[in-house]
């Protein structure tokens, strides 16, 4: 495969496919290279196989970056409605779930097929099973691969981050960025379950599989969504959201009964149902297994009438303000995204091109821009890919 192209895009995920088809539609001779044997692997597993392809609430404050303003330009120029229009053009049925999340009615494969169809119409050349072993730059980028040597004046890094290594994720984009002296930020797993130890883990293991709606606070951020107890600790949307803001050693606060004053509820039940047990009345508001486990930790099995108001107040406060310090997370193996990446200071927010290396572009998860759970990271992939594709 000794050839010259106008543009070589490395990585056929969401951002890479969008960039390739956009640039090719403008008349560029584009080659899209993918290390895996098929394109869009992370698209296919997203959203439980139905691809949560965007979110109607894609505002900049729902993205994490060392420069919170960086994502604004791309999101404004190619927003959720633009991608929705593409989905509708291809007659892919979709629906809105909670909190503005849009999912395909059927398989995520329909999104991959749509992107491949657009690439085909624009005459994008796609090669899978392609390992890039070396990149150098003279007046053009020279790319050495197991399939041959390629050269192009424009090179796009769309190889993602470190999350889900079993699907082929690597730190390739940051490695190449460093090779060309582009600054990078520290990386960490994002949207990832928490792990615990000791008595807390013992409790969580007893409750494995239990889920309920909670309010989780981490620093200044708060998320009201479901929590799931696991054999390693805590997961579920609320926990995954909080994890992106969590730092080692810090504490999270969980309100297990959001919207309910648990202390007042217990005291009222003591007055109206004095012979009932705390676990019985709490089971009206939360899963029975959880009610039993927490009351066992804090109270005796005596009826409410026999328990002091002080003890009931202590339990109530624990229910509304459960303080937990995770020992860590399940790491990149279970993380949906990577926090950090190529520093935004190195790139133009209008084109995604390197400020110091003309012709080098970085898009998608490889950039230090990370969205919330719920379609935000896909929208960043579409937006940054579109911006770069139109700038090349």
At residue 113, does pLDDT exceed 80?
yes
Residues 168-224 pLDDT 10s: 888 999 999 999 999 999 999 999 999 999 999 999 999 999 999 999 999 999 999
Residues 311 and 169 in one domain: no
Residues 203 and 253 in one domain: yes
Structural domain including 230 reads 194-329
Residues 105 and 183 in one domain: yes
Residues 68 and 124 in one domain: yes
Residues 183 and 198 in one domain: no
Spatial CA neighbour of 118 closest among 19, 232, 6: 19
Q: What is the mean pLDDT of residues 145-150?
A: 94
Of 277, 295, 329, which one is at a domain's C-terminal end?
329
DSSP 13-28: SHHHHHHHHHHHHTT-
Spatial CA neighbour of 359 closest among 159, 140, 177: 140
Going by pLDDT thresholds of 50, 70 and 90, the confidence category of residue 1 is low
What pLDDT is attached to residue 2?
Answer: 53
Q: What is the mean pLDDT of residues 298-314?
A: 93
CATH code for the domain of 261: 2.40.30.10
What pLDDT is attached to residue 4?
Answer: 80
Spatial CA neighbour of 386 closest among 351, 344, 343, 358: 351
Cβ–Cβ under 8 Å, residues 304 and 274: yes
Domain count, the chain: 2
Of 329, 354, 375, which one is at a domain's C-terminal end?
329
Q: What is the mean pLDDT of residues 149-158?
A: 97
Q: Give the chain's end-to-end CA distance (angstroms, integer).
A: 23
Residues 51-72 pLDDT 10s: 999 999 999 999 999 999 999 9
Residues 212 and 250 in one domain: yes
CATH code for the domain of 132: 3.50.50.60
Bridge partners, 52 (sequence order)? 103
């Amino acid at each position: 495969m000794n050839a010259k192209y106008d543009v070589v895009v490395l990585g056929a995920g969401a951002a890479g496919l969008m960039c390739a088809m956009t640039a090719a539609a403008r008349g560029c001779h584009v080659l899209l290279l993918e290390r895996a044997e098929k394109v869009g692997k992370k698209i296919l597993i997203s959203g439980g196989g139905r691809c949560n392809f965007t979110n109607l609430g894609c505002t900049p404050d729902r993205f994490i970056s060392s420069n919170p303003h960086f994502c604004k330009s791309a999101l404004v120029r190619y927003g959720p409605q633009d991608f929705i229009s593409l989905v509708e053009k291809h007659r892919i049925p979709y629906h809105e779930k909670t909190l503005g999340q849009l999912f395909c009615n059927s398989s995520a494969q329909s999104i991959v097929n749509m992107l491949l169809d657009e690439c085909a119409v624009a005459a994008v050349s796609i090669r899978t099973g392609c390992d890039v072993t070396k990149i150098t730059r003279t007046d053009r980028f020279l790319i050495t691969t197991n399939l041959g040597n390629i050269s192009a004046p424009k090179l796009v890094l769309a190889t993602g981050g470190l999350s889900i290594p079993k699907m082929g994720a690597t730190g390739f984009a940051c490695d190449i960025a460093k090779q060309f002296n582009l600054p990078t930020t520290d990386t960490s797993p994002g949207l990832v379950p928490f792990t615990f130890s000791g008595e807390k883990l013992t409790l969580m293991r007893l409750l494995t599989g239990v889920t309920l709606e909670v309010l989780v606070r981490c620093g200044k951020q708060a998320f009201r969504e479901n929590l799931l107890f696991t054999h390693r600790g805590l997961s579920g949307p609320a926990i995954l959201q909080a994890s992106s803001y969590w730092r080692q050693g810090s504490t999270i606060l969980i309100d297990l009964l959001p919207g309910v004053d648990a202390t007042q509820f217990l005291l009222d039940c003591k007055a109206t149902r004095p012979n009932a047990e705390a676990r019985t009345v709490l089971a009206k508001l939360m899963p029975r297994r959880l009610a039993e486990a927490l009351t066992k930790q804090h109270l005796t099995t005596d009826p409410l009438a026999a328990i002091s108001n002080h003890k009931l107040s202590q339990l109530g406060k624990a229910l509304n303000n459960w303080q937990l310090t995770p020992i860590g997370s399940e790491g990149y193996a279970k993380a949906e995204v990577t926090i950090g990446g190529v520093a935004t200071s190195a790139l133009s927010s209008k084109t995604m091109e390197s400020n110091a290396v003309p012709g080098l572009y970085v898009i998608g998860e490889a950039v230090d821009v990370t969205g919330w759970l719920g379609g935000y990271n896909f929208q960043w992939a579409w937006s940054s890919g579109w911006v770069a594709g139109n700038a090349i």
